[in-house]
C-alpha cells in the first residue's frame, strides 16, 4: 500500500518511522485558522479531516493527516508569532496543567477514519531566566504552545497523563490501529 503523510512536520515523520512503514511526504495546503469560538478539540479534529481530504489520493493509497493543539483555559495555544508571544505562552503554562489534543485522520479504501487523543501535561514553575534561556535555543519558534516535549522543553514538564507520542504530534498506538483497520501491515 502507498501511504502519504499529509504533513511537513519532521516530528510526525520521525514518529511514523517508528512504526516501520514506508510513506512519502505530501503536505496538505489548507487554511488552518480556528473558527470563532471553536473549541480546541473540535478545531484539531476538523484540521486533521480537512488535511486528509485535501490530499490527492491515487488507487490503493492511504492519506494520513494529523493536527495538534495545546489547550489552556479553553484557548488554543498555537505556534508563537514572535519571541514575546512565546514568552507569554510559557508564562501562562508555568505551574499549571494543560491539555495536548492530537487528532489523526486516515483516508483510503473509500473510508475516512479518525481518532483523537487528549493528554494532560503539568508544567512546573518557570522563572524568567529559564524561559529566556529556552527561547534563546530557538526551539519554541515552531512549536504549538511554544515548547517541544521531545527536546529541551521536556525540562518544564513535571508529569503527563496520556500519550507521549501524541504530545509530540502523532499518537502511535492509535495511528497503528487505524492503519491496520485500512489493511496496512504494521508489526
**Annotated catalytic residue 85:** no
Catalytic residue among 29, 31, 59, 67, which?
A: 67
Contacts of 25 (CB under 8 A, 6+ apart): 4, 5, 7, 8, 13
For residue 161 the three cell numbers come to 497523563
Our measurement of the distance from residue 23's CA atom to the centroid of its chain's CA atoms, rounded to an integer in Å, reads 18
Q: Can you read off the three cell numbers belonging to residue 88?
A: 507569554
- CA separation for the pair 18, 155 (Å, rounded): 24
Name 100's bridge partners: 70, 119
User: Grid coordinates representing 124?
Assistant: 512546573
Point out the residues that are catalytic: 67
Amino acid at each position: 500500500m502507498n501511504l502519504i503523510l499529509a504533513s511537513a512536520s519532521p516530528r510526525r515523520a520521525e514518529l511514523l518511522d517508528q512504526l516501520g512503514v514506508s510513506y512519502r511526504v505530501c503536505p496538505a495546503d489548507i487554511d488552518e485558522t480556528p473558527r470563532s469560538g471553536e473549541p480546541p478539540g473540535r478545531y484539531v479534529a476538523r484540521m486533521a479531516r480537512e488535511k486528509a481530504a485535501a490530499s490527492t489520493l491515487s488507487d490503493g493509497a492511504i492519506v494520513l493527516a494529523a493536527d495538534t493543539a495545546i489547550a489552556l483555559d479553553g484557548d488554543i495555544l498555537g505556534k508563537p508569532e514572535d519571541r514575546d508571544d512565546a514568552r507569554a505562552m510559557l508564562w501562562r503554562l508555568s505551574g499549571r496543567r494543560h491539555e495536548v489534543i492530537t487528532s489523526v485522520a486516515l483516508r483510503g479504501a473509500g473510508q475516512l477514519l479518525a481518532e483523537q487523543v487528549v493528554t494532560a501535561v503539568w508544567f512546573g514553575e518557570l522563572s524568567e531566566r529559564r524561559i529566556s534561556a529556552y527561547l534563546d535555543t530557538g526551539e519554541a519558534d515552531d512549536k504549538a504552545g511554544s515548547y517541544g516535549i521531545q527536546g529541551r522543553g521536556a525540562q518544564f514538564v513535571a508529569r503527563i497523563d496520556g500519550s507521549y507520542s501524541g504530545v509530540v504530534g502523532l499518537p502511535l498506538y492509535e495511528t497503528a490501529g487505524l492503519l491496520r483497520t485500512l489493511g496496512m501491515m504494521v508489526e
